[in-house]
Homo-oligomer: A and B are copies of this chain.
Amino acid sequence: MVGVYNHPEAAKICYLALYAMQHRGQESAGIASHDGKRLHLHKGQGLVSDVFAPADLETLPGSRAIGHVRYSTTGSSTVHNAQPLRANYRGGHIAVAHNGNLTNADELAKRLEASGAIFQSTTDSELLVHLLAQNRSEDFVEALRASLKQVRGAYSITMLRDSEMIVFKDPLGFRPLCMGKLRNGGYIVASESCALDIAGAQFLREIKPGEAVLFRGDDVDKFQLLQAQEQHFCVFELIYYSRPDSIAAGGSSIYKFRKRLGEEMAREHPVEADVVIAVPDSSNPAAAGYAAASGIPLETGLIRSHYVGRTFIQPTQDLRDFGAKMKYNPVREVLKDRRVVVVDDSIVRGTTAKKIVAMIRDSGAREVHFRVSAPPWKHPCFYGIDTPDDDDLLANQMSIEEMARWMGVDSLGFISLEGLMNAMPKTLGYCTTCFTGNYPEGRPRRNTKLMNADGVTTAQDHIAAGVWTPGE
């Protein structure tokens, strides 16, 4: 998610920023711009480079723009659910990009339907626009505040209106959002600081829980839109999701933090071994940390193909199991006859980890010791990270010993929650619900997730039955 204000090439900067944040969503991409007269929108299914042809950026004039990349959840992969959302209402035309998930969407949807609302998408983000439209206040900020008071869950949002752009975070501050200054004096807000880098912008600071920044004319008003609560910054942004060259949590390097996790693991789960290898690319820093702290040499034991994820073949016969191999290939000489420590950054379902272990053993490794730079993931996330149900989370179903046996490893170690928190930058409070099950507002009802899982087929403009209809 990105917003650019007061730059003559606002849409192009959004494009570059989305490109830098492509890892945050490969399902769809979109940019809305405003040229003072009209709101322009272009969005579609696919990668940023697929959705935007050169001519498309030309159709997005204006000095302010917002953009979004969405990631692939189970369903709802339709162009109608791509963001930014656009709507016309009493207050004019508005475009909205939303990172996060509302947890009381069911309840809101029922209430809005009763009052006569009609829905075009199956995203929770649309609900917020309805709340805004039904508010009677003439003051936009007041209407927004009143609307948000009805909403629960995680949201970092950018909105583009006729003459202004507003960005804000929910009161618990689940998801990241930072702000930078462009070389020409304009502003950029983005989910990650790597988007500021590509635009040559100077990092200013992160947006705080409940805070809003309103860009209007030449003014930049920062104020508390909602009363901040204890921060619950998503710990997985640091562990896995954000790019390592981004900074977060009060200006800390994510790369450095991940390396510290590896060091902590080496202390918590030492083992005698010949070589440390990472599951590339995201676990590289943690593996480096483990190697440094343990003194065991770090080698490249697995090569990752960077063309992965773009194939379709369904072979029969001899070609079974080629899937994991399309992504990873072992470097045999590194593994043969060695005692190998494999460092990964998380275990969700465990299926890929199991295949990697088999691959390493097939390469002749004598022992395989698996180390995970996150605590056991036991509880689904309702705040913006796509996770399977409880039943599909390996750590929810097995003890660590059972997991080790099932994966076929000689030892298995997860970093402790305490160790994790010790390694974390102390500037923020964190959401660790996925490890603890302590949902900050109580565990949301499961059907809320249907918001993003309506079983729609993925063809362009393919739209099937919706989501929150009470009777369904």
**Assembled-state Cα–Cα distance A321/B471 (Å):** 43
Binding-face segment, A97-105, A312-320, A380-388: A312-320
Mask, A299-339, CB within 8 Å of B = 1, is 11001011100111111111101100110011111100000
Asked if A19 lies at the interface with its beta carbon under 8 angstroms from chain B, I say: yes
**Assembled-state Cα–Cα distance A130/B317 (Å):** 39
Of the residues B16, B114, B318, B322, contact of A319 by C-beta under 8 Å: B16
For chain A residues 386-428, which have a beta carbon within 8 Å of chain B? none
Residue of B nearest to A252 (CB): B333
In the complex, what residues of B have CB within 8 A of residue A318's CB? 7, 9, 182-184, 199-200
Binding-face segment, A53-61, A220-228, A365-373, A439-447: A53-61
Interface size on A, residues (CB 8 A): 112
Q: Are B199 and A319 in contact (CB under 8 A)?
A: yes
Minimum C-beta distance from A400 to chain B (A): 29
Given A20-B305, A93-B469: A9 and B317 interface contact (C-beta under 8 Å): yes
Task: Using CB atoms and an 8 Å cutoff, list the residues of chain A in contact with chain B.
Answer: 7-9, 12-13, 15-16, 19-20, 22, 37-44, 47-49, 53-57, 59, 79, 86-90, 92-93, 113-120, 122, 129-130, 133-135, 182-184, 194, 197-200, 243-245, 247, 253, 255-256, 259, 281, 284-285, 288, 292, 297-300, 303, 305-307, 310-319, 321-322, 325-326, 329-334, 455, 457, 459-469, 471
Apart from A42-B459, A88-B113: 14 A-B pairs, beta carbons within 8 A: A9-B318, A19-B305, A20-B305, A40-B464, A42-B462, A44-B461, A87-B118, A117-B118, A197-B325, A198-B325, A253-B331, A253-B333, A256-B333, A256-B334
